[in-house]
Structure 1
Amino acid sequence: MTPAPDARQVRRWRRYLADERAEAAVYRDLASRRDGEEREILLALAEAEGRHEAHWRTLLGDRVGYPLRGDLRTRVLGFLARRFGGVFVLALAQRAEARSPYAGDSDATDTMAADEVIHGEVIRGLADRGRSRLSGTFRAAVFGANDGLVSNLALVLGVGASGLPTSAVLLTGVAGLLAGALSMAAGEYVSVRSQRELLAASRPAPEAAAALPLLDIDENELALVYRARGMDEAQARRHADEVLAGGHGDAQPEHDDHEAIGSAPAAAASSFAFFASGAIVPVLPYLVGLSGVAAVAVASALVGLALLATGAIVGVLSGASPGKRALRQLAIGYGAAAVTYLLGLAFGTSLA
């Protein structure tokens, strides 16, 4: 006869039951904001959590009692899933699955522990899809804002430490904001424009398609075109034969890579905005009239909070610890600012 569970076991089982219910609800909420394959995958995960829920119900029997609420992390995850969805919630769900206690709990089956590991990989795959969709924009936003935060804080603190008046520090900060943002915008414009020009130079000339019907079929020099593009001799000749026979393919590329790269003016404008959004933060105390140590302290605090936020966002999206990434971002930013601040003090002392 199986011994009756003690009070501690019952509490733990009820907690697991509540967490499984909450996790299943999260997946259903995420599924409600999607369609197609992703929706089916998330609903399948919710069903799997339902099987785990049934396991704890069976163990508890008539000890189930009133339904408990899931733990705080799962409830927050559920709130975010209902309101936002998206890759951020998937990344958080990935970390939640990785914290499953079932592997070390004899009351959970080996299958349940294995399920949680696989669930984490499924969520990782879904999160990777989202990361790939926003990677370009997100990278530009985070790194542009981070560059503005760190470079302008370093500039403002360095100039302020040298003993220059507040008006000069403010002017320097605004100049640094504009110079950095314009430099970022110009660099992005040139980069995107150059990519588009390189692609245009690689596109077949319009006259190539018109020349196809006039080619000598026996010589089939069209095969040389495809060999130049990277096909081996057999593939190139076979593809050229199909084109000349009126099968499929032509001298034009299948996809418009210009659309994937985007517009050069739009890229420049977004880079300007991202950098400026970070660079304005260290200047804010001076804009509202603060000066001296107070302005330095407030600017450093504001930039510190912004660095913690960007670091945490990077951590969440990468599936790593948000806290560690936030502290790393803060340490790097403050380290750069400290160097220029010390240099400003040294120059201020030498010029005094």
Structure 2
Amino acid sequence: MFEVRAIQAEHGDALLVSYGDTEPHHILIDGGPRGTLPNILHVLEGCKSNGRVRLEALVVTHYDLDHIEGVIELLRAKPGWLEISDIWFNGFRHITPADVLGSAEADTLAELIEGKHPWNSQFGGGPIKVGDMHPLIMPGGLKVWVLSPDRDRLSRLAAEWGDGKIVPETSDPMPPRDLLGRKDEWPPSAFADLATAASRSDGSIPNGSSIALLLEFDEQRAILTGDAFASVVGDAIETYWDTAPVVHFLKVSHHGSKANTTDKLLKILQCKRFLISTSGKGPGHPDHVLIARLVASTEQPELIFNYDNERTANWRNPPADWPGFTATFPNPAECFVRIVLK
């Protein structure tokens, strides 16, 4: 068994990875913005075994509010039946020698972790970053490679944070609408125009520090990108492997922003199943250009959405003049979409 449940977290991420041959093991990646906790608890309660759930890791990819606030809510109100073996999060202490933390939310999260939960223990208490050629082997046999951040992106984050009290850029509860994506209207433009359209790369320092992971279980591979940069992920893959492994599932970076997924990366991954985690709230993701890139990258791809609403439902069927693809949406009775890899 190897599956990912993309929990509804508005414009954020909250992903539960479950795997195991004889007993299920679980990893929670991000917690969405404030208000996501009921959905997270509902999904976790459905995973109880003998009345308990154990997370082998709780991963916070970076400190933007649409990834971190739900984790803060969870740790503040952690139910007695939930056990957390390790928390993976690069705080200010992991990227500089200083003993202070950064933004208010990262500071709050650190207070909830320090002395109460193991913190990056699988990484010797140090930063989570690209580096080790050998995968981390999790309980139950899951293999984990870190694809982002690299040392350079952590250094940039440390420099931007300065004395640890200056927040890099902004972590507004409602991020500004993605540049150009705000102009997307239905129906989309001609496929050929969108698929070949150029776009600026993401320049956000917090997004550049996002943890991205490649997970492998029973020869099935998934990449969960957070908001990571395509260039960093691609460089890591080329560093780890002479010939890139086929990836069976990709959680598209930054909720479907065209600034975070490139044709070059898609060619490396050879993937056919793509998850877009967003309600469309705030930045108005996914961008039409991004969808066109995914469709152009392979024959008959599967586009998976964790919301079925006005913003996403337009993609239920290929628009006129577009190549074929299939679209998958959550069951109306569920607050997540399930992706089964085995």
TM-score by length of 1: 0.22
Greater strand share, structure number: 2
Larger RCO (alpha carbons 8 Å, 6+ apart): 1
Larger radius of gyration: 1
TM-score by length of 2: 0.22
